[in-house]
Each structure stands twice: as C-alpha cells, then as structure tokens.
Amino acid sequence: MVDYEVTVYTANRTAATTFNNVFLKLVGTNGESERKRLLSLRGPSAFVRGAVASFTVSYPTSLGKLVLVELDKKPLFLFPEDSWFPAKVEVKSPDGEIYNFPVYRWISDSKVHRFREGTALKGFEDSHQLGRYSREQELKQRQKDYCWDVYVEGIPHCIKADGPLSLPAEVRFSFTKQTEFLFTKITGLAELKLKGLVDNKTNWTNIDDIDRVFWFKQTDISGTDNLHKVNPTKLDNLPVTDKMVFPDGCCSLAEEIKKGNIFLCDYKQMDGVKTNTINDEKQYLMAPLVLLHKTPDDKLMPIAIQLKQKPAEDNPIFLPSDSEYDWLMAKIFVRSADFSEHQLNVHLLRTHLLAEVFAVSLLRNVPMVHPLHKLLIPHTRYTLQINFLARNRLISEEGVFTKFSASGGEGMITILRRSLSSVTYSSLCVPEDIAERGVKDVPNFYYRDDALRLWDTINRFVRGILTYYYKTDAEVQQDSELQKWILDIFEHGFLSQPCPGIPQKLTTVDELIKFVTMVIFTGSAQHAAVNGGQFDFGSWMPNTPISLQLPPPTKKGEATEETMLKTLPDVNTTVQGMAIMWLLSQQSSDFAPLGQYSEDHFSEETPRQMMANFKKELAALSAAIKERNKTLEVPYTYLDPEEVENSVAI
C-alpha cells in the first residue's frame, strides 16, 4: 500500500462550512484511485470555515504524476444538503512531491467536481485524456452559467442575470460586502445629514446654504479626462482672437499654440443629446468647448468657454474678463457637462462595462488551469455583481441617474453609444493616451505621473508571467482558448466595430502582454482614478452639478446670482446625486488592494516569485507617492497602490 497525505483547506468566508460527507478521488498519469470518504479525527469540524484538515489515503499502487482531484459531498441521512467553499486541496505523494489543487468555488450539489493540479497548462499542452475532458466540461458548464445579454443595443454586452442572486455564487459579493452595500445605501442620506432634504423640490436660494450642506476639496487640476493639446487647425469651432484671450497683450494665441501652451476640452459628445425632465422641469446639458492656457507660473487656466458647438450670435464666447456671473455660469455649465462625460463615458463605459466584458469572456472561454485565468481571475472580483446593481439601481428606468441626471434615460444611452464609437485602443493604454493628447507636460498632473508608473509596474509583472508561459509567438497563435477570449471581447465589448486598434486576434507575445496589461490597468488603476475622487470633488454641488434647470445665457451681461441659483439643480436632485457619489466612494471592509492575491492559483515557484516582486514594487511605489503627497497642499491619493483595488468592485 502507498499513502497519500491529503490536506483540505476550507475557505475562511461566511457560510463556507459543510457538515456533509466529503469524498475524494485522485487521478494521476498511472491511473485513478477509488472514490474515498475523507474521515478525520476532527470529525464533523473538518470542513468548517477556515479549517485545515489532513487525511491519509492509502491505495495499492502509486498513481504516477497527479493530474486532478475529484471532489463531491453527500448529505447525511435526514441532514440537508449545504454549500461548501473549499479553498484548495494539497496532496503529498509517497515520493514526497507536493501537489496543489486550487478550488475557490462553491460546491452546492452532490455532483462530482474536478479540479486540476495548479501547474498552468495551455490547451495544446494538456495531454492527459481526463484532463482534457475536464477542461471541456468546465467550459461547457461555464458557458451555461455565464451568458451574454444585450442591455440596450449599441453598448457593450453584459452578463445575463435575472437578479443578483441568480449570478453564480462564486462571483457574488461576500456576505459582509453585500450587507454593507445595502446598509450604506440606506444610511448614505442619513450619514450625510441630508434626510430632511430629500423630498424638498425647491431651488437653492442662497449659495451659503450649499456651503453649509456640503464639504469639498479644492485642487489645481481636475476634470482632465478630456484635455487635448491644441493644434493650430483645431480651433475652427471656437473663433477666439488674441484680444479676447490675452487682453493685456502679453502673448499671442498663435505663439502660445506653437509653444504647446494651449489646450482644449471639447464635450462634443453631448451635442444635441435629448435631456431629462425632473420634477416637471426641463433640464439642460451643453456641449462646451473650453480653451485653457498654461501660464508662465505653471497653472492651467481657462481663457475662453463656448457652451454650444457651433459659433453663433446667441452662443457667446465667455471670457474671464466678463462679469463675475457670466464667467461663473459658463464654468458651471462646463462642470455639468463634465459630470455626464465623466460618469457615463470615463467611469461607466471605459471601466465598469469593459471590465465586465473582459471578465465574462474569461469565464466563458478560459479554464481555471490556463495561465491567463490564474493571472486575471483576481481582477474580476465582484465586477459582475456591482455592474448588475449599477444597471438595476442607477441606470434603469427607476435608477437615480435616469431620474436625476441631465441626460435622463434616452440621452444617457445616446452618450454611451457615442462614447463607445469614440473608444480607440490607444486611449485605453495610458502611455499612448498621454502622448496622443499631448498632455505630457501639463503641470501638476498627478494622475498622469502616478498612472504611468503604475502602468509600468503592472506591465513588468504581466511580461514576467506571460513570457514564462509563452516562449514564442507561435504559442500565442495556436492557443485557441486565448484567441476565443480576445474575439469574444471584440464581438461583445466593441460590438465588432472597427474601433481603431482594438485587436480581434493576438499574434505575438508582445501584443498579448500589452492587452493583458490594459485589462488589469483598466479594472484596477483606471477605475480607482475615476471612482475614488467622486465625492471629494463632486460633493460641493456647483463644482459638479448632476443637472441644470435653465438654459445658459445667450447674451453677456444678464446673468445674476438669482439666475445662477435658479439654474442649479433643485434641493431634492442635488441630494440624490450626492448620496450616490458618497456611496460609490466608500471603501468596503473586504477591499483587496492591487497585487494582494489571497487565492493560490499558481503552483510554480517562478510566477509565485513574480507575484511577490510585484507586491514589493507596488509597496515602493506607494511609499514614493506618499512622500510626494507630503509636498502637496491637496495630496493626490487615488493611485496610491494601497488605495487601488484589484478589480472594479464598487
């Protein structure tokens, strides 16, 4: 007889315990064992939450190199079937070799479940017959569990789910996070001491009242998502003269453009969008053009604002030299357009919805034993569920955004569709994005500084892992699971549109590294950058009005404090917007910071070492960012790796 020492780890998470009988079968290159019940001295406590239980299992002959384990459980007579969440199984063979079998899944039924040994294998390397069979079976099951759905035509496809509980258990929030999420939504209004204001449909009558209700942070630079350096040809729609923008004659526009000191924010995606009606009032959303100047003392100052795209008599170009309220109103309309641009394009579409597509495609096409699955699975945590909730509570017919934002439901879809057609591959890859927009030298642009360093760190890690598994370009080309993954993303995320540069197949190792870097960066760093500051910068409502109630002035010299207050959203709309931004800026108790991988998916020493290095590099980057922040009046913390979550989870 030969003895195998089997150690079963039950995950330390709520409700992970089973009191059912657990059975195990080992499958190796020389054959398979019988199915045996795991009996331990610990008795029924062997499979409780957090338990590590060891068993000795004896067989007549050696099974050779272990390929997989089969696990199943059966309820005791009169006992109900329960759900068990094993983390992993470790097996020490008679010759002393240790095998690791990652599980990290709920087992809720009495069926046999197969889990592969943790050494990563691409499809074409998987030579064991039962290994290949379990690979196919796993994907077949997943394609049933994770189906594509069309929420509305023209935006990325999503996971099919009738309710948050119909999602497969392993992708749902943990019990803690779920209760917390519901709890904070209800308490958000109370926490903000806004409860008494929620039914108030009147207008603000005094700017001091707004000051008293909301806090805010000030910054030199925010809302730069859309900033581009101006080329001389680009100003056709904004006919400004030297005299308008430099009334003191200090410089000339042509000179400054040449020096690279003139920038443009163009909200053209908002042009002509149908707007909402809130509390019986028609709402307004402009499509402004904002010209900015980098001054000799390194400030980026707005020097001209035109609120509609086409130059016209009733579409004045507002200037800092105009009356206080003209200039203030122009800025408020810009900030309101920025709210819609930021939430719908930059936040929802470019992080949440794309991250969901990357995740669903991974789950449907790439089995657990594949190196890409091991690398990316921690970066999909909670994304499907948070997006389900976002669709259900924010953008559905009764959702807060639909009811209270300037674009309402129909306008929102128009903006999302236009945004998707404006996505290019380079705009998702931060080094190229910064270069293309010409914002390399914009002063005090900490997003750029930190994002570039994070991209580099992620890219080095991804390169290490992927070059370990893919030695040649041919291996990338022949990996059919990988190719299905990328094609599904192209079809369901980018709707097979020829979005410039988005690949529909991968031909080289370098292409694969770049795409995977983008996937991890989008779900972690980019989401943190656009999600984290929402409340800090948006909670003082006039800085980010969710909607506006009057059209902008068509003539200069008419705006007053009274027209400004009538233009701002009413009290009820303001408060709803604030509560949502507050909720979405909260950090949950089971927050998983970038690079902290709590599940052991990789068994080999080399990738494990690379993960440890990645963590070290992120810690060093975090220290450097903290040091830099000490010198700043308003620290930029959103891309400190300690504050960045592994995945889109909120």
Q: What is the CA radius of gyration of the chain?
A: 28
SS3 429: coil
Q: Which is nearer to Fe ion, 531 or 539 (CB)?
A: 531
The Cα 649–Cα 431 span in angstroms is 25
Q: Rounded to whole angstroms, what are the CA distances from 643 to 13, 298, 376, 459, 639?
A: 23, 28, 19, 19, 7
Q: How far is the CB of 499 from Fe ion (least distance, A)?
A: 22
DSSP at 312: B
The Cα 443–Cα 103 span in angstroms is 48
Interface stretch with Fe ion, choices 93-101, 308-316, 500-508, 531-539 (CB under 5 A): 531-539
Q: How far is the CB of 223 from Fe ion (least distance, A)?
A: 17
Q: How far is the CB of 351 from Fe ion (least distance, A)?
A: 6
Q: How far is the CB of 355 from Fe ion (least distance, A)?
A: 9
Q: Which is nearer to Fe ion, 531 or 588 (CB)?
A: 531
Give strand pairing partners of 290: 265, 305
Q: How far is the CB of 346 from Fe ion (least distance, A)?
A: 10
The Cα 412–Cα 414 span in angstroms is 5
Helices (H), 105-191: 129-145, 175-191
Q: Which is nearer to Fe ion, 178 or 531 (CB)?
A: 531
Residue nearest to Fe ion (CB): 531
SS3 354: helix
Interface stretch with Fe ion, choices 63-71, 100-108, 434-442, 529-537 (CB under 5 A): 529-537
Q: How far is the CB of 583 from Fe ion (least distance, A)?
A: 10
The Cα 183–Cα 173 span in angstroms is 14
Judge contact between 206 and 565, C-beta under 8 A: yes
Q: Rounded to whole angstroms, what are the CA distances from 558 to 315, 316, 567?
A: 14, 12, 13
Burial (CB < 10 A; 0-12, 13-18, 19+), residue 615, is middle
Interface stretch with Fe ion, choices 224-232, 449-457, 526-534, 545-553 (CB under 5 A): 526-534
Helix (H) or strand (E) holding 337: helix 324-340
Q: Which is nearer to Fe ion, 200 or 585 (CB)?
A: 585
Residues that contact Fe ion, how many (by CB under 5 A): 1
Q: Which is nearer to Fe ion, 531 or 543 (CB)?
A: 531
Q: How far is the CB of 425 from Fe ion (least distance, A)?
A: 22
Question: Which residues in 143-235 belong to E strands, given as ranges?
Answer: 148-149, 158-159, 227-229
Does 419 bind Fe ion (CB under 5 A)? Our answer is: no
The Cα 593–Cα 583 span in angstroms is 19
Does 531 bind Fe ion (CB under 5 A)? Our answer is: yes
Lay out the site mask for Fe ion across 567-586 (x = CB under 5 A, - = otherwise): --------------------
Q: Which is nearer to Fe ion, 531 or 567 (CB)?
A: 531
User: Which residues make Cβ contacts (< 8 Å) with residue 118, sequence separation at least 6?
Assistant: 88, 99, 100, 101, 102, 369, 374, 600, 601, 602, 603, 604
Q: How far is the CB of 587 from Fe ion (least distance, A)?
A: 12
Q: Which is nearer to Fe ion, 290 or 346 (CB)?
A: 346
Q: Which is nearer to Fe ion, 103 or 415 (CB)?
A: 415
Q: How far is the CB of 582 from Fe ion (least distance, A)?
A: 13
Lay out the site mask for Fe ion across 479-518 (x = CB under 5 A, - = otherwise): ----------------------------------------
Interface stretch with Fe ion, choices 260-268, 334-342, 420-428, 523-531 (CB under 5 A): 523-531
Q: Please, what is the angle between helix 175-191 and helix 571-584, to 10°?
A: 150
Interface stretch with Fe ion, choices 203-211, 300-308, 527-535, 616-624 (CB under 5 A): 527-535
Virtual CA dihedral for 104, 108, 111, 112, nearest 10 degrees? 20
Q: How far is the CB of 347 from Fe ion (least distance, A)?
A: 6
Q: Which is nearer to Fe ion, 387 or 576 (CB)?
A: 387
* Token output for 402: 């639909």
Interface stretch with Fe ion, choices 120-128, 415-423, 525-533, 590-598 (CB under 5 A): 525-533
Q: Which is nearer to Fe ion, 213 or 528 (CB)?
A: 528
Q: How far is the CB of 250 from Fe ion (least distance, A)?
A: 42
Q: Which is nearer to Fe ion, 16 or 639 (CB)?
A: 639
- Which residue ranges make up the site for Fe ion (CB under 5 A)? 531
